Amino acid sequence: MSILQGVGAVNALLNGATNLVNALKRPRLSDETFAEMLRQANAAADPEAVRKQTEAAAVQRASDVMTFRDVNGDGLLSRDESGLGADDFAARDLDGDGMLSADEVKRAILRDVGQAGTET
């Protein structure tokens, strides 16, 4: 073993020891603190909160689609403006008026992500 290899091995050993000492110095969580962290994590995974976040994202995405695709600025998308084929357009045109509203676009997005029927 060369001197450089020996120095490298000692350096790696010291770094490992330093990391161990630092880990041992970290404060331990009390049961109450850990329980609170779990409650917060569970709240973040709350189905209602996830649904609301997903709907908010769908509203924003629908707004983006309308801004980008609504060429004539009437707040509705014709089939030509939508870029969809006839069958796909018809599936999204919930009221059958031949135009897509922002709400219909939002509902289609929610349906596509598996939240059909959960939108308000």
pLDDT for the residue 45:
67
What residues contact residue 24 under an 8 Å CB cut-off, 6+ apart? none
Confidence of residue 52 (pLDDT cuts 50, 70, 90): confident
pLDDT for the residue 44:
65
pLDDT (tens digit, 9 = 90+) per residue, 22-40?
A: 766 666 767 787 777 777 7
Distances (CA, A) of 28 to 25, 31, 42, 73, 97: 9, 9, 21, 59, 63
pLDDT for the residue 119:
46
Percent of the chain with pLDDT over 90: 43
pLDDT for the residue 6:
67
Q: At what angle do helices 102-112 and 47-69 cross, to 10 degrees?
A: 130
pLDDT (tens digit, 9 = 90+) per residue, 80-119?
A: 999 999 999 999 999 999 999 999 999 999 998 875 554 4
pLDDT for the residue 120:
46
